[in-house]
Amino acid sequence: MDSDSGRTRIAVLIDADNTSPRYAEALLDELATYGTPTIKRAYGDFSTPQLQGWTKVLNARAIRAIQASAFTAGKNSSDSALIIDAMDLLYAGNVEAFAIVSSDSDFTSLALRLRESGKTVYGIGRRTTPMSLQNACDKFIHLEVLGAAAEATPAAPELAESAASAETPTINLQSALTKAVNATADDDGWTSVSRVGHHLSRAQASFDPRTFGHSKLSSLVAAQPYLETVREGNTWRTRLKGKPAAKKAAPKPATAKAATARTSAKKAAS
């Protein structure tokens, strides 16, 4: 983590009704690579049996529990409590970034509002999270790619993800990489992998090389058969295979008028 990210204060707001406690440690460790989680809160009705698994996690990771009792059957008050707290924190100005941990599209408007106010928004949720929320964030991280440590602990039945959603990427990798290379390539067809990464982060908020089995973007790009990738010192460069470099336009021949003008100038000089 560089010094700039270390100074970024993050408010972590967890929708406990919608997130398994087995991911708590992994998601906080992930967010620590982007900044310092100075505020950590989890929202839900912790008096219910469904959220009892959060009890030990809250204490172990110093997460503040925000009790949101459902006063009316079928109504989820934790969403409202999370949104109200987020707006209070926004106006307090004590953080530079927010992390919304939920797979619920109801937080889409909140994410957009926070970004409009100049805050960085990280989203964390399941791969099946509606794209409206995923694309509303600066970066959206899938819980499934954080699951290395979490997989050792079985999830509660009501929060367990289906195997299909955990294994099937929602992004067409070849299409995404091809567009990124084309968008960032120089006239010779080459581009740096870092430029590809910056383009992907803007175009696909949920793009993560770990989704495709690679810890780094450079190794993911190098493994693609349709890309030619080379390393030059500490820089990785890539281009589409078989795509010729753009030819520079040949200089236009001098017009008759211009040639006559030059001839006249020479005669005058002599």
pLDDT digits 0-9 by tens, 48-74? 888 999 988 999 889 999 998 765 554
Q: pLDDT > 90: what percent of the chain?
A: 47
Question: According to DSSP H, which parts of the chain are helical?
Answer: 3-6, 24-31, 54-60, 77-92, 108-116, 131-136, 147-150, 163-167, 173-184, 193-203, 217-222, 256-269
Q: What pLDDT is recorded for position 256? A: 55
Task: Give residues with Cβ within 8 angstroms of 81, minimum separation 6.
Answer: 43, 66, 68
150 pLDDT above the threshold of 90: no
Q: Confirm whether 248 is domain-assigned.
A: no
Instruction: Report the CATH number that the domain containing residue 64 is assigned in CATH.
Output: 3.40.50.1010
Q: How far apart are CA 171 and CA 16, in angstroms?
A: 27
Instruction: Indicate the SS3 state at residue 191.
Output: strand
| pLDDT of 266 | 56
pLDDT of residue 2: 47
* Helix axes 173-184 and 193-203, enclosed angle (nearest 10): 120
Average pLDDT over residues 6-31: 91
Domain boundary among 114, 147, 167: 167
Cα–Cα distance, 199 to 193 (Å, whole number): 10
**Contacting residues for 174 by C-beta, under 8 A, at least 6 apart:** 224, 226
Question: Which residue range forms the structural domain that includes residue 85?
Answer: 3-167
pLDDT tens, residue by residue, 193-229:
998 988 887 666 678 888 888 888 999 999 999 999 9
Tell me whether residue 116 is in a domain: yes
Examine the domain organization and report whether 135 and 191 are in the same domain.
Answer: no
| Domain shared by 76 and 124, yes or no | yes
pLDDT at 158: 44
Q: What is the mean pLDDT of residues 34-61?
A: 91
